[in-house]
Structure 1
Amino acid sequence: MIRVMIERHIADSLAEHYDKAARDTLQLAMQAHGFISGEALQNTDDPNHRLVIATYRTVQDWQRWHRSPERLEMMAAINPMLESEEKVTLFEH
């Protein structure tokens, strides 16, 4: 089992649009092979700083989702809302 940390910084005034797109992306991810769980968090000191924590069965399951047409399409909508490129870090036990 692995944990995927996805850190994002949203541009000012786009939080509402980002939240909807992020929820839609999480709904799609939940259907991905090997997906176990996921949550979206907001920094208490910086409302534009977000963290997604997802649990997948294997690194390969995450990579399959990361490269999937569904995620690429959702990221095409999310990327313009970000101040910088998302940072993805994988952790394992």
Structure 2
Amino acid sequence: MAVKVLIKRKVADKQASELEGLLRKMRVMTLSQKGYVSGETFTRLDEPGVSMVISTWQSLDDWRAWTLNKERVTIQEEIDKLLGEPTQYEIFENI
């Protein structure tokens, strides 16, 4: 069953372009992952620096395998360091 992962991040304006570059790297890597269906990236209009990615995966197992990918972990650590806090994840499945 397909799952949607909401990924929320908040970064200071001065670091927004650096975050954007890291997200692009991760997006390119995601395209070749087993079970990846699609992804969309949004920024909040009413709160600068807040972004959300909605990522769709064929299964929860596919998402979990992606979270363990060594290259992804390295980029995610860079992102969290830039943010100064852990990225927030919410996982949903279709009903």
Regarding TM over 0.5, the answer is yes
How far did residue 20 of structure 1 move? 0.8
- Distance, in Å, in 2 between the alignment partners of 1:23 and 1:5 is 17
Query: Aligned Cα RMSD in Å?
Result: 1.0
Q: What TM-score results when the alignment is normalised by the length of structure 2?
A: 0.92
One-letter code of the match for 2:83?
A: L
Runs (4 or more) in structure 1 with deviation over 6 Å come to none
Identity of aligned pairs, percent? 27
Asked if 2 retains the 8 angstrom alpha-carbon contact of 1:8 and 1:50, the reply is: yes
Q: For residues 25-54 of structure 1, give each alpha carbon's deviation from its aligned partner in whole angstroms, at most 9, with x where no partner exists.
A: 011011111000011110001121110110
Residue matched to 2:91? 90
**Aligned residues between the structures:** 93
Q: What is the CA-CA distance between 1:74 and the residue it aligns to?
A: 0.9
**Normalising to structure 1: TM-score of the pair?**
0.94
| 5+ residue gaps, structure 1 | none
